Structure 1
Amino acid sequence: MEGVSPEPLRSELDSKSKHDTAKEDDDALKDSTEAEVTKIRLMRAFVESRDPSSKEENDLMMRRFLRARSLDVEKASAMFLKYLKWKRSFVPNGCISPSEIAEDIAQDKVFTQGLDKKGRPIVVTFAAKHFQSKNGADGFKRYVVFVLEKLCSRMPPGQEKFLAIADIKGWAYVNSDLRGYLNSLSILQDCYPERLGKMLIVHAPYMFMKIWKMIYPFIDENTKKKIVFVENKKLKSTLLEEIEESQIPDIYGGQMPLVPIQNS
């Protein structure tokens, strides 16, 4: 625009974006109980006194950590402060670059597309396409963060959770990565609490259950309630309980083609 400096325009746009985001957060917080609202304030005052960077995080995040710790302010605050420290050290640039996780991206094992009946993004993981990273544990952990951030970015306003379909078809011991599974679980539970809405485990072979028995004790009680093993003969009917047919992935008889997570 002739005669107008771009800086004021950028400042105005940033201000408008922050205003819109704040309004969306306020709308999403309307379903909070009085106890939650009170404890969000208490938690915010506490964590901001310990780590000033927590001022940048919104009340929705505070609420997720509180809910993950049954509204115990002390436990939720400790969990949240630990998360902030982890984020600074593990994701110093604020995001994971695809170049950092090229090996995992090349395996083409996580896809996304569509929303379930509650408006939650759908993610599909294929366990038989996963192999232990040659770059060590941190490589796969970075991939997990990349996937979770992609899912969070796809959530409609007012939505905080996603629905996962874990497809174990064709899984063999060569795909077994107990450390990788436990690291994924730890990141999900400790750094992205209350983001998983539901997980449907499909096509699970018998030998996978041996690994599952080793993972299960590390799953917290809230997460356990969200995990469902689906019988092969009930796959389509179970998906239809959660997802409209137009949004069900086409590989399960629906109409939605899957897109690799890195392209979403």
Structure 2
Amino acid sequence: MAARMCSNLGRPLVSPFPSTKTPARGRKFSVQCCVLDPNQSHKQLVYEVKHKLEKEHSSLPIGKNGRDDEEMILWYLKDRKFSVDEAVSKLTKAIKWRQEFGVSQLSEDMVRRVADTGKGYVHDSLDVYGRPVLVVVASKHIPEVFDTVEDQRLCVFLIEKALAKLPAGQEQILGIFDLRGFRNENADFKYLTFVFDVFYYYYPKRLGQVLFVEAPFIFQPVWQLVKPLLKSYSSLVRFCTAETVRKEYFMEETLPASFKD
């Protein structure tokens, strides 16, 4: 008996009965083949978000930046770490806001009066990282001069303009707050909060970095008030000098004129 058992060692045992089960190795191979690649998985999630938006929020507009805009849906899915429910919630708020704010109706003529002050503009050239650049000149912002809504319209118009300049493969913009000459009368806690709220809720992950250039001592109380409200965007803020802007973010021929002094 022992000799027979030893003689069978090293040889596969054959069942006297035919088996209809798939061998283990075959089963493992079939499971691996059923795993979707990331792109296919993302397409399925985009479809799920579109379906939920159509079913639960059919009154929302369609088309570019609407509830069926697949590019926009995928962007919000990425922002919400591919949670369908969270993406639907944030998208719903964003699309409603765009509709109520009248983003698609904003034009150069509508914001010209405020833009002519030079308090904010989109720079003609990209930075060295290939990002469109939105510049805010704090010393030219006097809260009492214009209605709050006018300043907010200029802000959103410039964000849209900067995003329209995104080159292929680039997804984010650079924000520069030029704080040279900043005085107490330029402080506008409400407006600064609006700027970052707009980016956080309606243009998520579009702001790659924010430079606070030459911030004077009197700006510190404003920053201490605003910082807790910025959420994750506070980590994007870099306090720096004008020289840093010149050396690290632009070439001589692409430098904004106000930084050539």
- TM-score, normalised with respect to structure 2: 0.73
Encode CA deviations 1:174-196: one digit per residue, 9 max, x unaligned: 11111111112212221111211
Give the deviation of 1:124 after TM superposition.
Answer: 1.8
Looking at structure 1, the residues matched to 171 and 96 of structure 2 have their Cα atoms a distance apart, in angstroms, of 22
Q: Which residue does 1:251 correspond to in 2?
A: 258
**SS of residue in 2 equivalent to 1:207:** helix
In the superposition, relative to structure 1, how do residues 33 and 129 fare at CA in structure 2: closer, same or farther (>3 Å)?
A: farther
Q: Which residue does 1:159 correspond to in 2?
A: 170
Q: Which residue does 2:247 correspond to in 1?
A: 237
Give the deviation of 1:55 after TM superposition.
Answer: 4.2
Question: What 5-or-longer segments of structure 2 have no aligned partner?
Answer: 1-37
Matched positions, count = 218
Give the deviation of 1:102 after TM superposition.
Answer: 4.2
Give the deviation of 1:131 after TM superposition.
Answer: 1.3
Looking at structure 2, the residues matched to 244 and 232 of structure 1 have their Cα atoms a distance apart, in angstroms, of 13
**Pair 1:214 & 2:220 matched:** no
RMSD: 2.5
Percentage of matched positions with identical amino acids: 23
**Pair 1:45 & 2:39 matched:** no
Encode CA deviations 1:40-94: one digit per residue, 9 max, x unaligned: 33222222323344642433322332233333322221111111111211107x2
Letter in 2 for 1:198: Q
Q: Work out which of the residue numbers 130, 139, 142 in structure 2 matches 1:131.
A: 142
Give the deviation of 1:140 after TM superposition.
Answer: 1.6
**Pair 1:174 & 2:185 matched:** yes
The structure showing larger relative contact order (alpha-carbon pairs under 8 Å, at least 6 residues apart) is: 1
In the superposition, relative to structure 1, how do residues 82 and 45 fare at CA in structure 2: closer, same or farther (>3 Å)?
A: same
Encode CA deviations 1:226-263: one digit per residue, 9 max, x unaligned: 22111455443332xxx444323243349xxxxxxxxx
In the superposition, relative to structure 1, how do residues 170 and 33 fare at CA in structure 2: closer, same or farther (>3 Å)?
A: farther
Letter in 2 for 1:117: V
Looking at structure 2, the residues matched to 136 and 250 of structure 1 have their Cα atoms a distance apart, in angstroms, of 28
**Pair 1:142 & 2:153 matched:** yes
Structure 1 segments (4+ residues) deviating >6 Å: none
In the superposition, relative to structure 1, how do residues 40 and 245 fare at CA in structure 2: closer, same or farther (>3 Å)?
A: farther
Contact kept, 8 Å, 1:48 with 1:54, in 2: the verdict is no
Encode CA deviations 1:136-163: one digit per residue, 9 max, x unaligned: 3222211111111111222223433211
Contact kept, 8 Å, 1:48 with 1:55, in 2: the verdict is no
Looking at structure 2, the residues matched to 212 and 180 of structure 1 have their Cα atoms a distance apart, in angstroms, of 13
**Residue range with higher mean Cα deviation, 188-197 or 57-66:** 57-66
Encode CA deviations 1:162-215: one digit per residue, 9 max, x unaligned: 112211000111111111111122122211112112112111111111101111
Contact kept, 8 Å, 2:126 with 2:132, in 1: the verdict is yes
Looking at structure 2, the residues matched to 219 and 33 of structure 1 have their Cα atoms a distance apart, in angstroms, of 32
Looking at structure 2, the residues matched to 234 and 244 of structure 1 have their Cα atoms a distance apart, in angstroms, of 12
**SS of residue in 2 equivalent to 1:156:** coil
- TM-score, normalised with respect to structure 1: 0.72
Looking at structure 1, the residues matched to 86 and 142 of structure 2 have their Cα atoms a distance apart, in angstroms, of 35
Q: Which residue does 1:194 correspond to in 2?
A: 205
Q: Which residue does 2:111 correspond to in 1?
A: 101
